[in-house]
Amino acid sequence: MRVAKADLQDIWMAQTQDEANAALDFLNETCGVKYEKAAAKLVKDREELPTFYDFPAEHFKHISKTQPE
């Protein structure tokens, strides 16, 4: 589980959409069998998940948080 958590963090902490996609591919390869349903949902929503990369990089720290500042 700890490995999967770190792999998930690699997705949402990526600096570019390409890095996020590579991290998602890695997560799917390494944890997809054990966490099949979770991996399937991430892969299904692959296009929508990194939408914040459409915004300028200086906004990432505000967009990617769940808590308002």
The pTM of the full predicted model, rounded to 2 decimals, is 0.70
The tokens of 51 are what?
A: 């939408």
Q: Tell me how far apart the alpha carbons of residues 47 and 5 are, in angstroms, rounded to a whole number.
A: 21
Q: What pLDDT tens digit does each residue of the chain (69 aa) get?
A: 567 888 888 887 888 889 988 998 998 898 888 888 988 888 888 888 777 777 787 776 776 665 555
**Residue 18 to residue 39: CA distance in whole angstroms:** 18
